[in-house]
A and B are shown apart, each in its own frame.
Chain A
C-alpha cells in the first residue's frame, strides 16, 4: 500500500510540474553542438549577455553530430535554437530537419581551426608528410602490392629521415569531430598519395574508405579521450609521443609542446589563416529561422558573433585561438545572418 501510494504522489507531482513547465515560454537562447566550437561560442554568449539586456544563452557541448540531431528534432521552444558544428551540415541531416518541419536554416561560417600533431618541447620537431602519417597510423598499409596489418613500429622504418623512436600517437576517439576531420584531412589525403591506394580508390571505393578510415589498434595509436588538456599533459610526461588536438590548445601550451611541420608548413596562426597549413577545417553554426522573433535576442546574438570585434581579424575570438575568416567572407556571413539567408548545399 505505502509503496504504491508514494509512487502515485510522485507521479502526480511530476504531472503538475510538467504542465506548469510547458506553459512557461522560454526567454533564453539554447545552443547545442560541437565541442570544438564550444570555447568560442561560450565567449560570444558571455559577451552578449554582458553587453545586451538579454539573458546569457545556455550552450551545451554535445558534439557536432549530436547537436544537429537535437537541432533537427523540430520547431518549438523545447528544441534548441542553434547548433554549432565543426563540419558542414550533411545532406541526410538537412533531410531529417525537413522531415521534422525545420525547413529554414541559416548557415554561418565563423572561422577555421587547425588540427596539430604536437610533441614535447624536450624532443625535436617532427617533419612529416600526410602519406607518412597515414603509414604510421593506418590499420592496414600496402607492402609489396598487398594490404597487410601495419608492420611499422618505429618512425625511421617509414622514412630514414624520421627519428628512430617508437611510433606512439595520442588522438581523439571516434565520437569526436576532431577525429573525423583528422581522418578526412590527413588519413584520406595521405592515402591518396600512395599509388597503390590511388588505384584501389578507382577499383573499390568502399575498401579504400575502410583502409583510410581505420586507425591501428595495436597500441601505437592511443585513443586518449576528448580532453585535449590531458593529451598535453601526457605529451609532457612522454617526450617520444605525438598528440593530435586543436590549434587553440597548442597556442595555450606553447611552453610545453610544439607542433609538427606537415608538408613543409608549421601550424602557426598565419599559416592556418592563409591556408598554407594543410590540416585545417571550417567551423560553423546553424540558425533555426522559425525561432527568430519567438526567442528573444537571436538576431542580436548572431550579430555579436559575426561582428568585427568578435570574429574579425583582431576580434576577441582570435585571443581564444580562433583563426578568423577573410574580411569579405565575414561580411557576407554577417549579412546572411541579418537576412536569414536560407542554407543551400
Chain B
C-alpha cells in the first residue's frame, strides 16, 4: 500500500518493496490517465481555438466600424442662399433653405475643374455623406448667427470614400475594378495632403437608428427594440414560469395528467422557434389584434418560447432544495404556502435566476419567430414604446449582412460585437446574482 503513496517514507523505501508483477500494469494505468488528460486538454484547447477564431474574425472585420473619416470643408453660410428674400431672418426660412447647395458650392470651389462634367460632378458631390445638408440645417437652426459667416465644418465622408480612407480599397487596382474612381482618389489625396481628413469616433453608431447609408446607420434603434422586447418577455415568462414550476413541483398531485404536462413542457423546449412565430401570428396578431412589428407582440412570442426553459430550470432548482428544509418548516407550524414562499423559493432562487437568464439570452438571439410577426423590417425611427414598430439586434445583423453596400460588412461585425457584449453582460448578471443568493449547506 505504502509504495504508491507520495509520502516521503514510502518513496524512500518504495521501489525495492514493489512487487515486480505490478509495475507494467501500473505504467499502463498511468499512461491511460495521461492520455485521458491530454485528450481533455486538447478538446478544451480546440473549443478555445474555435472561439478565438470566431471572435477574432468578427473583431478584425468589425473594429473599423467604430470610427469614421471626416473631411473639413469651408462652408460659406451666405445670406443670399439662406435668406433669399432679404429682410429679418426667420426660423421658417432657415428650416427650408437649400443647405445641399452650400455643401455643393464648397466642393465646387475646391475643385473647379471637376464641376464641368456632369458625371464627375455627381461623384464630387458624393464625396461627403448624403446627410450633410441635414447636419448643416441643424447647425444653423441651433445658432442662427452663423448666417453670413464662413466656417470650417467637418463632414462625414460617404461610405465608399470612408472605406477607401480606411485602406480597404486597393488603389493599385485598375479603375474599373474598384468602387472609387481615379478622380475620387485624387480628391481624397488633395484633402489628405492639406491635413483636412481626420478620423473620429463614430458616435452615431450608438445613438441612431438604421439607415441605408452605411455611414449614417446606427445600432441604437435595434438595441432599444431588444431591450423593450426582452422586458415584455421577462415580465410575462418569469412569473408564469416560476408559478408553473412551483405548482408542479410543490403542490400538484403526481398523476397521469401532471406527467402528461411534464412531458409536454419538455417537448415544447425542443420545438423549433419558427413554430412559436406562427403561433404568435395566429394568436397575438390575427386574434388579439396586436400591432405588427411591435416589441409587445415580439416579447409575447419570445415569452412563449422561453417558458419551457424557465419552467424546467426552476423545477430542477426547486428539486435541489433538501426535503429537510421543508420538513423542518412544516414541523415548526408553517403552512405549505409559507414553506414555499419563506424557505424553498429563496433557496431555489439562484438556480431559477440562472435558468431565466439563459432563457433570456436565448430569446435575445432569436430572429426566426420574429420574422412571422413583422419585426424583420427596415425601421429608421427609434422605438418610443411597446407598440411602436421595432426591430432587434440579431435582425439588424441579418439586415446589414444582406445589404449590397460594402461598408455594411464592417457594420455587421460591429453589430455582432454589440450583441455579444449584451450577452456577456446578461451572463455576468446571472453569475453575480448566483453569487449573491447562493447558500450552501
Contact = CB atoms under 8 A, between A and B. Distances in A.
Contact of B212 (A6, A42, A252): A42
Interface string A1-27: 111011101100011011001101010
B403 A22 contact: no
B288 interface: yes
B239 interface: yes
Contacts, number: 121
Nearest to B372: A62
B402 A1 contact: no
Contacts of B380: 45-46, 49, 56
A61 to B, nearest CB: 7
Interface in A47-83: 49-50, 55-56, 58-61, 78
Given A15-B288, A18-B290, A38 B378 contact: yes
B243 A6 contact: yes
B173 interface: yes
A236 to B, nearest CB: 13
B290 A255 contact: no
A46 to B, nearest CB: 5
Given A22-B289, A60-B376, A255-B178, A5 B243 contact: yes
A54 to B, nearest CB: 11
A320 B243 contact: no
A30 B404 contact: no
Interface of A (DSSP majority class): helix
Interface bin, chain B: 35 or more
B231 to A, nearest CB: 14
Contacts of B131: 50
Interface string B20-60: 00000000000000000000000000000000000000000
A55 B130 contact: no
Contacts of A319: 126
Nearest to A43: B212
B300 interface: yes
Interface string B157-178: 0000000000001100100111
Nearest to B293: A58
A254 interface: yes
Given A5-B243, A227-B402, A252 B179 contact: yes
A227 B408 CA distance: 13
Interface of B: 118, 122, 126, 130-131, 134, 169-170, 173, 176-179, 211-213, 236, 239-240, 243-244, 246-248, 251, 284, 288-294, 296, 300, 374, 376-381, 387, 389, 399, 401-406, 409
Interface of A: 1-3, 5-7, 9-10, 14-15, 17-18, 21-22, 24, 26, 28, 30, 35, 38-39, 42-43, 45-46, 49-50, 55-56, 58-61, 78, 121, 226-229, 246, 248-249, 251-255, 314, 316, 319-321
